[in-house]
Chain A
């Protein structure tokens, strides 16, 4: 039962442009959403999060948007940098139980 979905397995973006990653969820009980970044052979690292009572959270180049009515969240990275090339996972939390999407591979090209 995949309750968190990332429908784009990959994304290629030019350096300096905006990267937009999307995530959909089905469980309305999720109350906290997170984005993680993962490099090969390493564990995921926390990037940014948003509570269900908010619709936007910014941290430097990273902004997460939440649309509760559509059960959709997105991560914007601007400007994209070569070091942003990684797999990005969307995660959702309900009562301490985290569920992850399948990830989106981002490649930032010069």
Chain B
């Protein structure tokens, strides 16, 4: 399973756009990139998943360059409630995903 590297923490202010970059240099051809959000004492929540180029949903965008060795989660206009830990994972799309969670990025949004 590909190992990922993310910043340990990031700070932002309400209303700003936040971009969290994840490095996954040894990603395999059939790996997908997935992001989860976790609040304290709760289970992680799926945010977005992509394979290449750009994916957008109602809460976030995921940018993946052509070489797929990194990806960027973009959160538009964050609010205080976006303060959480964000995990970047890669997993093969060959069946039931055996996810490997790193320590994630701790995002703190201030007023």
Tell me whether A and B are bound partners.
no
